[in-house]
Amino acid sequence: MAVADRTAVGALLGIDEPAEVARVANRLDTLLRDMPATRRLGVRAGLGAVSVAVRAGGAVRAGGTGPAGGAVRVGGAERVGGPWRPAPVGRDAVLRRLAAHPGLAGPLDLLKMPVLLAAGPSGPAPVPAGGRADAELDCVPSFDWPARWRTDAVVIGSGAGGAMAARTLARAGLDVVVLEEGRRHTVAELRTGNPMDRFRSMYRDAGSTVALGRPPVVLPVGRGVGGTTLVNSGTCFRTPDRVLARWESEHGVPTDRYAELLDEVERTLAVAPHPEHSIGNNGLIALRGARELGWAAAPLRRNATGCAGSGQCAVGCPRNAKNAVHLNALPQACADGACIVTEARVLRVLVEHGRAAGVLARRPDGSSFTLRAPLVVVAAGATETPPLLRRSGLGRHPGLGRGMAVHPATSVAGRFDEPVVAWRGVMQSVGVEELHDQGVLIEATAAPKGLSTFVLPGLGATLAGWRGAGEHLAFLGAMIADQPSGRVRGSGSPVLTYRLARPDAVKLRTAIVGMGRILFAAGARQVLTGLTARPTADTPGELVDIVAATPTSALHVAAFHPTGSARMGADARHAPVDPRGALRGVDGLYLADASLLPTCPEVNPQLTIMAAALAVAGNAVRRESG
């Protein structure tokens, strides 16, 4: 990594020890290598700009060394017989000026995210003893797969939807091949790998996916055998009855069987309420604050009955305690004859005479292979399914790629006198549904150390101070039920855009204030707002004023649940997919992922996606076998 980049890394984080700056810079370089070229160049350009500004602001024109090679101080920088090095005081003054510029505050926060990720621990995170072995899966790397193969059904994607579709088809007696772009991650790797390396290998583009908009939305997408179920929180909500009723009345999607389908999904995942005694301090604080306010709150229902509170759900459970689909639905499919081909990117679906005929896929070395099949189920996820259909010549429907909801999320933190150590315990532990009828779902959520999407305030010494206070911070997150205002563009790497609707901006503000009230009620001395211009509040009233004065474009928004980019519905003018899950205009092609959900499900969507996939795969078996 260039010296200029190291200057920027040290400045942004407020660190001066050369060895620590070098460690973070080298890790950042490793992280950037896994990002797309445009994002990699953007981060490097941002670091370079910060470096230039810091150097220029701290060391303007100067003649040479001081007498006998001594130090010369110019504008807050000193030179000791060598290159100019900005002194800490001058450096922080420059950073404060940069952060005060209204056009730079947001980009600087985005720039901080990969730098903070790289600054996390280099070694493996502590893991409680015990756990279970990996499940038996019939996985074949694409390098070992023949150039041509014929099967009964191909399922594209091995996540929540693809796993349930594959299991249903295999149990119906079909010969099934599942294609997965990622690779298999073993529990041994998860126990010994450090969180950042696991993050960059288990998320598409090293977790750098962003939906462009004002504000931009950070949208990390999991990739690997098991899909996003590998890296989600394990939270399992049933689809709310009001959502199902809306899908049926407004979109013509039959939902009368969803209760039994959700029951089956819960059995598959072994869903149960998490015991309160093991949720960790972060969850206990959320419970305490909610109860002080008289708000209903409880430990969440999760698919992690053997959870020991490792707090690492977002980078794969190192004990296999979380029942992701690579531990149940996929091995069940393999037991009935299904096979999973890993590291295989599907280039296009083959269509002959108006019917799906198989797929063309690519290996990592660029070579390709063909799978012939009369039945194809696409479960590539809401951000990848529309580009795949376009590459296949199946993207003519005007609704394809439109109407994406993302379940926007925001978060706050509370500073407490006592240590919290939020990353010890359940990652997402407690749900507060007081505001759910207003479209706001609050959850106590704490990521592994160094991996939070919550951006700590400030730059330089200020940021270093907050990093040092990390053990005293508790975190809450909230997701809002949003209007379908996102788009998935392109036919290669998708370009995502998202325009936050005005009513949804109101919900985000409601969420920030609500989370702050919980933390203050629990005893927080200060609430970190996540808002760059006014990053802290000392009272609930001050928080209300800060949120009211913050423009929508300055809200910090992330998202983890994109849905609806190829929605199903009875109206052929607006829905690319019919109510049975079949893509309109071609026979033998079905969708079984989050892209077909008609609207935002208003809760963590894993159970909803899996239930929808069960319904779609069952429809496919009945129709294609008939």
Q: Is 397 a catalytic residue?
A: no
Beta bridge mates, 196? none
For 201, the 3-state DSSP assignment is: helix
DSSP summary character for residue 398: T
Tokens 């150097």 sit on residue = 55
| CB-CB contact of 388 with 156 (8 Å) | yes
504/510 Cα distance (integer angstroms): 10
DSSP states of 519-563 as a string? HHHTT-SEEE-S-SSS-EESSHHHHHHHHHHS-GGG--EE-S--B
| Longest Cα separation, the chain | 93
76/98 Cα distance (integer angstroms): 17
| CB-CB contact of 616 with 382 (8 Å) | no
| CB-CB contact of 464 with 349 (8 Å) | no
How many C-beta atoms lie closer than 10 Å to residue 402's C-beta? 20
For residue 593 the two structure tokens come to 């992922």
For residue 273 the two structure tokens come to 């309420």
Report the amino acid identity of residue 248: E
CA-to-CA dists, residue 233 to 111, 144, 522, 601, angstroms: 25, 33, 24, 17
Catalytic site residue from 251, 397, 561, 574? 561
Q: Which residues are catalytic?
A: 561
